[in-house]
Amino acid sequence: MLAGLAALALGLSACATEEPRANPPIFVGAPWVGTERLEYDLSERGELEGRCVLETELEVAPGVTELRRSCTNADEPRYQDNVTVQVRADSLRPISTLRSIIDLEEDERRFSATYLAGQDLVRFVLLEYQIGVEEPREQLNTERELPAPTDDVPAPGWYDDESLLWLVRGVPLEEGFEGAFTDVTATTRVFDADVSVEGREEVEVPAGTFEAWKIRIQTSTVTQFAWVDVESPHRVVRARIERLTYELAAVD
């Protein structure tokens, strides 16, 4: 069940790390203008699996926005999957990510990614804790290169996988848009993903009925979708990630 909650990450869909290409940035601007709290139901084949809360907080530091995702298993609240991502407010360029997958009765795995300032590098650390024990029992510490600038792409766009449901809100929302980006996961995977806006659809979710842009996110191994409200601030009203469907249930 915990693996189901973890499926929000596109990176878990990639069978292996690829050599990513230099892609121009696709995030053109943040539609959110203040603090947000969005609640989602997670289901598989119509059965409730869990609930997630997505929060956006501006100016946690000058020019820095914090994105948070907290997911809990519907039947066993001891299972949790929590993420905090800090990004540049204007570009969604990642600064750091911390993801904790928790069994409150057994253990916790902490995945972190730190994007090294002024370098095309990201450092990954994995720590695994037994509940009640301070010292980690397993550890991974490694670095990966990110796409370097080229003559054609002097400022490559890469985004942390955990910012996906914010990223799709800030791409050009117009039918026919196509772009690509380098996706970086805290599980040390770095690969390319293609994004396209396929058109508008009416979407009914617990929070209401919305006219939404249907956005396709394609990796080398999987196709996923997000439906983004046509109206500002362009909230994600539905997403189909791995085997789970995320549906907007409430807006605070």
Token pair for 130 = 């037994």
Name 85's bridge partners: 67, 97
pTM here is 0.91
Q: Which long-range contacts (CB under 8 A, 24 or more apart) does 173-176 make?
A: 173/197, 173/213, 173/228, 173/230, 173/234, 175/199, 175/200, 175/213
Sign (positive/negative) of CA torsion 243, 169, 157, 154? Answer: positive
Q: HSE, CB side, 13 Å, CA atoms: give it for residue 43.
A: 12
Q: Return the exposure string of 222-240: e unless at least 16 CB atoms fall within 10 Å of the residue's CB, then b.
A: eebbbbbbeeeebbbbbbe
Non-local CB neighbours of 208 within 8 Å, separated by 6+ positions: none
Ordered by start, the domain boundaries in the chain are 2-251
Q: How far apart are CA 136 and CA 109, in angstroms?
A: 9
Q: Are strands 208-218 and 64-73 parallel, antiparallel or unpaired?
A: unpaired
Tracing tokens 């948070």 back to the chain, one arrives at 68
Judged by DSSP in three states, 116 sits in: coil
Judged by DSSP in three states, 2 sits in: helix
Residue 84 backbone phi and psi in degrees, to 5: -130, 125
82-128: per-residue pLDDT in tens? 999 999 999 999 999 999 999 988 899 999 999 998 889 999 999 99
In the chain, the amino acid numbered 136 is P
Token pair for 178 = 């196509």
Tens digit of pLDDT at every position of the chain (252 positions) = 444 444 444 444 444 456 788 999 999 999 999 999 999 999 988 899 999 999 999 999 999 999 999 999 988 889 999 999 999 999 999 999 999 999 988 899 999 999 998 889 999 999 999 888 888 887 889 999 999 999 999 999 999 999 999 999 999 999 999 999 999 998 888 999 999 999 999 999 999 999 999 999 998 888 999 999 999 999 999 999 888 999 999 998
Residue 243 backbone phi and psi in degrees, to 5: -90, 0
